[in-house]
Structure 1
Amino acid sequence: MKLTETTPAMPALARLPQVAPVERPTPVTQPFMPPLGEYLPYLETIWSNRWLTNSGPYHQELERALEQHLGVEHISLMSNGTVALWTALQALKVSGEVITTPFTFVATAHALRLAGATPVFVDIDEQDCNIAPAGIEAAITERTSAILPVHCFGHPCEVDAITRIAEINDLRVVYDAAHAFGVQVDGQSILRHGDLSVLSFHATKVFNTFEGGAIVSPDGRTKARIDRLRNFGFHGDTIMATASINGKLNELQSAFGLLQLRYIDGLIARRAQISRRYHAALADIQGIAPFRVEGVTLNHSYFPILVTDEYPVPADALCARLTSAGILARRYFHPLICDMPGYRDLPSAQQPLPVARRIARQILCLPIHPNLSDTLVERTIDILANG
């Protein structure tokens, strides 16, 4: 799928609080911290009503606010994205083999193993770094129960092709949408696809609640099951329907999320501004290949580039050069999960996976976050331009 980016009307950037520059290493991403004074009234309310967890008023308000903001009907807040992934798999009773991507954060595969399923890694598409539908079809066996694709870097997967494959083979689909907060295709949330979609609200994400996550369900009945699973499996106060975990989000984090939502449009607009500058500056640098997307409303959660053989030094050397200058670029996702000690024993880890291995070798993510100054953006560009 060829992607093109659509840019919505930009909100005013002036609303973002100004932060004094600090001479310290520049991280690849950094959480936005709203003014502390705006958080204090939430804390005062929490201190007053003494409702700290167990689906308190801010928890319920944040679920409703996120449903409205993201254009979905049923959201269940969770304590973190990994717990959310595990709970989604439990809710669908996923077992056996699950086809997924090796080019993602380890939490994707960890959730499968914690749920008792076996990850089956297949190759990715070089255009968007997402799982390749042809690889999914080739990997299906009688033991396959589900597909766990990842919207890597917020680039939407080939959802129509994946839906077709799942329907033909009677498979469940759980999307790891950790990077995809607010991403839309044709004006519709990418979170509407699959049986369930899972978000992460970790501090490194576009929208964060310190730690946190959420599951997007297609209907109220599924949400109710997930809500039970995140509360030890209880149905009501005394009936335990099934053994489960404590995966609830507390009131302090929920309140922080509500405050983050006040700024989210401006935060994404600032990310888009940085992304446009990178694209313009890097277009003529031989051997540096940014990803270009079309027809998609992005959240600009990451700015990945490929450092190809035409560039004077490989990706690891360029990363080291940036780091020595105080710019902490990251090699997401290198090494591949299938090459890590905990997963090398899987049969699918022995497959060639040529595209994933090449991209893992060439990938580099440049700093992009609302706190990033124009000066640091230009310094990053200058280092890349001078090889």
Structure 2
Amino acid sequence: MNKILVTKPFLAPREEYETYFNKIWDNQWLTNMGPLAVELEEKLMAHIGVKNLLFVSNGTIALQMAIKALGLKGEIITTPFSFVATTHSIVWEGCTPVFVDIQIGSLNIDPKKIEEAITENTSAILATHIFGNPCDVEAIQKIADKHNLKVIYDAAHAFEINFKDKSIFEFGDISTCSLHATKFYHTGEGGLVIAKHKEVLKKLGYIRNHGLHEKEGFASIGTNAKNSEFHAALGLVNINYVGQILQKRKQLAEIYELQLQDKVKFQTWNNDASKNYCYFPVIFKTEQELLRVKEYLEQNNIFTRRYFYPSLASSLPYMPAVFLPNTESISTRCLCLPIYFDLPLSDAKKISELILECI
């Protein structure tokens, strides 16, 4: 069997990208929100169904911009089961992460634990829609309203996800998304930041461009979060294939689910939400079983990934370790299987067979 990685970027036909490449060459406008970046923002707003959206350089800077635009200070309650950028962004912006445990089924932050962790220093909740699975956004918003807190959603995995017929990006004060090459929909490197209110979007716009006012002078502190025309071109090409990407990933996921349903646990998906199949996590009975399977697959040239291990609550060098039982349990038993557009369905079947052999 040829080498199978846990993910590969989707690449549209090269000639389609080259058409945009020629436009860039003709325009001689490479960055600073050129015409292709503006066009991509417009197409994404139409596709997703939101109004207040910015295209930025990556998903991490989107989180930092969100914290800055909302003027957050003190403590931010967050999840320990996420990519480390979620926590890094909080610390980078001078705030203190406060970890609360996750739900065993959804793998998302537990709203009941959020309220228990609120103090007079709490300014916000930053929750991740893990693997694209929407958090309990209604419960979280009730808590935020009760305690006058801001809500940011790290929706890095959640492109093309709807909750109750609305884009998941419409919830919270700000949602962010990663458009990294490994994501369901990508621009090579890139990210999105979506605001509930126009005035917040205006602040985010200033922050994206060094704090510069659109007329003259400075409106605020800022950074360089602009993206290039080359990345925008990838996004403009790839947006035309979202439906095909979704269909293929769904087919792969259905094979895994059918073959493995009696031997592993799957993430409990939000009943009111759509799926994008951006990852395929499986939960083994024990860490030892996971390690056996991982090693056996690697012997067969198949490479998986332990998203998200270790727990952020107990592994970050700049924070005291906190033991959260659900997070520790899931992080040691969760393995993501290969899933991407170019993966043949027959390979998904073979991967499933090898897992069953090992178990």
Equivalent residues in 2 for 1:207-222, closer than 5 Å: 207-222=185-200
Q: C-alpha offsets along residues 36-63 of structure 1, whole Å, 9 cap, x if unaligned? A: 1111110111100111111111111111
Pairwise mapping of residues 316-327 of structure 1 onto structure 2 (< 5 A)?
A: 316-327=291-302
Alignment correspondent of 2:133: 155
The partner residue of 1:243 within 221, 224, 241 is 221
Residues 173, 197 of structure 2: 8 Å contact kept:
no
The correspondence of residues 10-49 of structure 1 with structure 2, limited to 5 A, is 24-49=2-27
> What is the TM-score normalised by the length of structure 2?
0.97
- Could you tell me which runs of 5 or more consecutive residues in structure 1 were left unpaired when the two chains were aligned: 1-22
| 1:308 corresponds to 2:308 | no
Per-residue CA deviations over 1:266-324 (Å, capped at 9, x if unaligned) read 10111011111111111223xx1122423321110011110014x9x521221122122
The answer on whether the counterparts of 1:94 and 1:117 sit within 8 Å (CA) in structure 2 is yes
Residue 331 of structure 1 aligns to a residue whose secondary structure is coil
Q: In the alignment, is residue 291 of structure 1 matched against residue 262 of structure 2? A: no
Q: Deviations over 1:315-367 (max 9, x none)?
A: 1221122122111111100101122242442xxx32x3111110011101111
Tell whether 2:338 aligns with 1:367: yes
- Is the counterpart of residue 131 in structure 1 residue 118 in structure 2? no
Partner Cα distance (2:316, 2:45) in 1: 39
| Aligned mate of 1:80, from 58, 72, 75 | 58
Is residue 337–residue 343 contact of structure 1 (8 Å, CA) maintained in 2?
no
Per the TM alignment, residue 24 of structure 1 is displaced from its structure 2 partner at its CA by: 4.1
Structure 1: distance between partners of 2:319 and 2:300: 35
Does the 8 Å CA contact 2:70/2:200 hold for their aligned counterparts? Answer: no
- TM, length-normalised to structure 1: 0.90
Inter-partner Cα distance in structure 2 for 1:27 and 1:237: 48
Counting only pairs closer than 5 Å after superposition, residues 62-81 of structure 1 correspond to structure 2 as 62-81=40-59
- 2:304 is matched with which residue? 329
User: In 1, distance between residues paired with 2:237 and 2:244?
Assistant: 13
Cα distance in 2 for residues equivalent to 1:316 and 1:228: 47
Aligned to 1:358: 329
Task: Work out whether 1:115 is the aligned partner of 2:93.
Answer: yes
Q: Which runs of 4+ in 1 moved over 3 A?
A: none
Are 1:183 and 1:190, in contact at CA under 8 Å, matched by a contact in 2? yes
Q: Which residue of 152, 155, 160 maps to 1:174?
A: 152
* 1:93 Cα deviation after fit: 0.6
Match for residue 35 of structure 2?
57
Preserved CA contact (<8 Å) 2:107 2:267: no
The answer (yes or no) to whether the contact 1:86–1:114 under 8 Å persists in 2 is: yes
Of stretches 324-333 and 147-156 in structure 1, the one that deviates more from structure 2 is 324-333
Residue 201 of structure 2 is aligned with which of 223, 242, 260? Answer: 223
Q: Using the alignment, how far apart are the partners of 2:284 and 2:318 within structure 1?
A: 27
Relative to structure 1, the CA distance from residue 252 to residue 147 in structure 2 (aligned partners, 3 Å threshold; closer, same or farther) is same
**How far apart are the structure 2 equivalents of 1:147 and 1:186?**
22
Task: Write the distance in 2 (CA, Å) between the matches of 1:156 and 1:195.
Answer: 15
Query: Given the superposition, is the C-alpha separation of residues 69 and 139 from structure 1 closer, same or farther in structure 2, using an over 3 Å criterion?
Result: same
SS in 2 for 1:27: coil
Name the residue aligned to 2:77.
Answer: 99
- For residues 24 and 130 of structure 1, what CA distance do their matches in structure 2 show? 35
State the Cα deviation string for residues 82-140 of structure 1 (Å, max 9, x = none).
01100011000111000000100000001001110010011001111100001100100
2:286 paired with 1:275? no
Gap regions ≥5 residues in structure 2: none
Paired letter, 1:328: F
Counterpart CA distance in 2 for 1:232 and 1:55 is: 13
Structure 2 distance, partners of 1:45, 1:238, is 29
**For the residues of structure 1 that align with 2:318 and 2:78, how far apart are their CA atoms?**
13
Q: CA RMSD in A?
A: 1.3
Figure out how many residues of one structure are paired with residues of the other and give that number.
357
- Identity of paired residues, percent? 39
Q: Which moved more, 1:324-333 or 1:100-109?
A: 324-333
- CA contact 1:199–1:214 (8 Å) conserved in 2: yes
